[in-house]
Amino acid sequence: MRLAAVLISALCLAPVTAQAQAQDGATAVSPEAEKVRTKLVFPVLVFDRSRVVAQSVSGAALEAKVEAARTELLEENKRIADELEAEEQALADIRNSLNPTEFRSRAQAFDEKVVAIRVEQDHKAQAIQTQYDDGLSVLEEDMNTALTRLARDFGAVLVFERGQVYLMSGAIDVSGLLIERLDAEAAEPSSEAPAATEPD
């Protein structure tokens, strides 16, 4: 409730423009802020993290890549399970033709094979999760950088994830702007890319 009260109090303040802030002696806005000079400035901003991850170019690409890997692993698990089930049935079918010692040896070997396969498939699943976590960590670093710039451009002193907010005005949700900035940065050519050489 304290957070809601703070937000309600902030929303009750008379909105000011970036131009008015500059006239009042505030720090000059950055070049990027010129693009939002006519927008209202609020002391509090909100963004929807799940929306940014799902709708930004980088986030959508990450989720698509990981989802494809998970689907492939599930299909592989299903194929392996079918093969193991058939192998187990074949072993059961010849049980009466084997002496007890030989059957126990084959059954033990089959059990060990199942355990080894399960461990291997679990490692693959963990690798996919690690791939997603690492990619998400990079995306969140870019998100934090872009959010810092947005906060500066709008004169905000607080930025909340939408799930932390009980009551808010849609005017302070910068998710769309955040997605635009992330996509613009993702579209920029890497500074590490080799420079084109002139033909001889």
pLDDT digits (tens, 9 = 90+) for 181-198: 899 888 776 545 455 454
Smallest CA-to-CA distance from 147 within 182, 118, 116 is with 182
Q: What pLDDT shows up at residue 189?
A: 66
Q: What pLDDT shows up at residue 32?
A: 53
Pairing, β 44-47 against β 158-161 = parallel
Q: What pLDDT shows up at residue 45?
A: 86
Q: What pLDDT shows up at residue 17?
A: 40
Smallest CA-to-CA distance from 139 within 68, 54, 46 is with 54
Q: CA 136 to CA 191: how far, in whole Å?
A: 22
Q: CA 99 to CA 47: how far, in whole Å?
A: 69
Q: What pLDDT shows up at residue 23?
A: 41
Residue 111: CB atoms within 10 Å = 11
Q: Which residues of the chain have pLDDT under 50?
A: 1-27, 36-38, 191, 193, 196, 198-200
Q: What pLDDT shows up at residue 9?
A: 39
Q: What pLDDT shows up at residue 40?
A: 58
Would the pTM of this model clear 0.85, i.e. be above it? no
**pLDDT per residue over 64-83, tens digit each?**
999 999 999 999 999 999 99
